[in-house]
Structure 1
Amino acid sequence: MLPLEDDARVAPVRWGWRPHWATDRAAPINARAEKVAHGPFFRAIWPHRMLCPVSGWFEWVDEGEKRKQPYFIRRRDGAPTLCASIGQVHDEPQDSDGFVIITADSLGGMVDVHDRRPVAFSPALAREWLDPATPRERAEEMLAAGEGPEVFEWYRVDRAVGNVRNQGEHLVERVP
């Protein structure tokens, strides 16, 4: 885990955010790296950089069967994936708090599973991402410098993962 410095802190925050004026749609959970720094939707939270550590994520692939096949994607070394995120968090939780994970093109090898992926940082880039002294332009460049597909592995898992009533570590085990 990264050391907490300056204003950095760990806080439970709802996944999903939208500006106060966008009441006609659900709060998105992801933001495209290509647009996040310049579009009006995320303008208010672009300066508020965060990390969302995850052990992995699921993607569903159409393999020509009746139902899509779920895959689990994680770092090969088992370390948490440090996902580039932006959001809004207050000291006292508010309804407007939330965050989004920034996604980018899958870059080659992962495209057979999904065409987008979270922007994942090495610990060194993660520290730079969180550093308030990192200029906005550099933060935008960093979104293209995330870890590539060679850092990750992906494999089929049981379709039971698609039902929220199913819980447990068995959901991330490989299936033939």
Structure 2
Amino acid sequence: MCGRYASTLPPEMMTELFKLLNRVEMVPRYNIAPTQPIVAIWEAEGRREAHFARWGFVPNWVKDPREFPLLINARAESMSEKPAFRDRVKHGRCIVPASGYYEWHTGPDKKKHPYYITRVDGQPMALAGLYSNWIGPNGEEVDTVATITVAANPQLSVIHDRMPAILLSENQQDNWLNVRDVRAHEAAQMALPLEDGALKFHPVSTRVNSARDDDAGLIEPVELGKPEPAAVKPKKLAGGGQMDLF
């Protein structure tokens, strides 16, 4: 399960790296949590653009999102069969840009400690995801997203048994977003664990447990068992109040 991540890529770099036709303004985020607004990229009518969306997928057939389970992840092995996701595997694939993500490991003392996981080469991550446009009874619209998870590779399995599906190459990203020409079963074959050695990780502050904390200190390495640095005042979220609907 991937339940927290960081995204610090400057808007101009995101536009260039992912070949976007637009630009979104978002401050660096170090502790993005479910239900918060995130940046997701998808193609529609031949246009590849970035959008603000709610992290917490809501199928378009749901009547009241407040009574629907919070779906932040879709398992790659079953997404094509699940009623919530199967249509979006065909028509609603997206990418979630990230700098790294957090996972919690339960140690011998039975306590969970967070680790920050990034690419070895320092490049941004392109997390494979699915998006849906939910339209309410009064015409209100909210874009929602789930990130896709796969079985962890041997290297990451020492921390957790799942990891995000990460699209490394430009060709993979292009094909994942190309819902016109690339069929669902072809796209699903790209949602695979990365090979050992592609990622690295280190323990970080337990402050990441609180979504109220959002600062650069969260991704800094800590020594387990040592006192942790104090929090700093968090920045305001980008994306405004567009997620206030639910």
Same-fold call, TM cutoff 0.5: yes
Q: For structure 1, which segment, 20-29 or 165-174, has the greater mean C-alpha deviation from structure 2 after superposition?
A: 20-29
Match of 1:17 among 57, 67, 80: 57
Secondary structure at 2:197 match in 1: helix
Q: Partner amino acid for 1:8?
A: R
Partner of 2:123: 79
Cα distance in 2 for partners of 1:161, 1:21 equals 31
Partner of 1:3: 19
Partner of 1:161: 208
Q: Identity across aligned pairs (percent)?
A: 27
**1:22-101 aligned within 5 A:** 24-46=67-89, 47-65=91-109, 67-89=111-133, 94-95=141-142, 97-101=143-147
Cα distance in 2 for partners of 1:153, 1:21 equals 39
Deviation at 1:115, TM superposition (A): 0.5
Q: Which runs of 5+ in 2 are unaligned?
A: 1-16, 22-45, 224-246
Q: TM-score, normalised by structure 1?
A: 0.88
Q: Partner amino acid for 1:14?
A: R
Q: CA RMSD in A?
A: 2.1
Partner of 2:182: 134
Deviation at 1:13, TM superposition (A): 0.7
Q: TM-score, normalised by structure 2?
A: 0.65
Partner of 2:217: 170
Tell me whether 1:102 sits opposite 2:118 in the alignment.
no
Q: How many residues align structurally?
A: 173
Cα distance in 1 for partners of 2:76, 2:63 equals 20
Cα distance in 1 for partners of 2:184, 2:190 equals 10
Partner of 2:6: none
Q: Partner amino acid for 2:57?
A: W
Deviation at 1:130, TM superposition (A): 1.0
Q: For structure 1, which segment, 4-13 or 77-86, has the greater mean C-alpha deviation from structure 2 after superposition?
A: 4-13
Deviations for 1:63-113, whole angstroms, at most 9, x for unmatched residues?
A: 1336311100111111111011111248x9713x20110100002110011
Deviations for 1:15-54, whole angstroms, at most 9, x for unmatched residues?
A: 1113234854322000000001122221232221100011
Query: 8 Å contact 1:106–1:149 — kept in the other structure?
Result: no
Deviation at 1:161, TM superposition (A): 1.5
